[in-house]
Amino acid sequence: MKKLLRRLVLLGAIAGGIYAVRSYLRGGSAATASVQLVFDDGSTRSLTSNTSEGREFADIARKIVEIGL
């Protein structure tokens, strides 16, 4: 039983490593920035950084955080 568990852990580690290397070589980032806009009426709009609008808002938000506002 212990031997089987070791093999499963090793197999999982190898599979995770292969997935990480594949994602790295594809150039895809593991995390994308997400911006959530909240309007006065309470409605919200979420944008991710893989869209042009979202990229603009994410850049602005990143600059604001760097400035420290």
User: Above 80 in pLDDT, residue 39?
Assistant: yes
Confidence category of residue 50, pLDDT binned at 50, 70, 90: confident
Same domain, yes or no: 37 and 23: no
Same domain, yes or no: 45 and 25: no
Same domain, yes or no: 10 and 21: yes
**Mean pLDDT within 40-68:** 84
Averaged pLDDT score across all residues of the chain:
80
Question: Is residue 32 within 8 Å of 50, Cβ to Cβ?
Answer: yes
Q: What is the pLDDT of residue 20?
A: 80
Confidence category of residue 42, pLDDT binned at 50, 70, 90: confident
Same domain, yes or no: 38 and 8: no
Task: Domain of residue 20: give its range.
Answer: 1-30
Helix (H) / strand (E) containing 44 = strand 44-48
Report the distance separating Cα 47 and Cα 30, nearest Å: 17
Residue scoring higher pLDDT (11 or 32): 11
Same domain, yes or no: 45 and 17: no
Same domain, yes or no: 35 and 67: yes
Give the count of domains, the chain. 2
Same domain, yes or no: 24 and 41: no
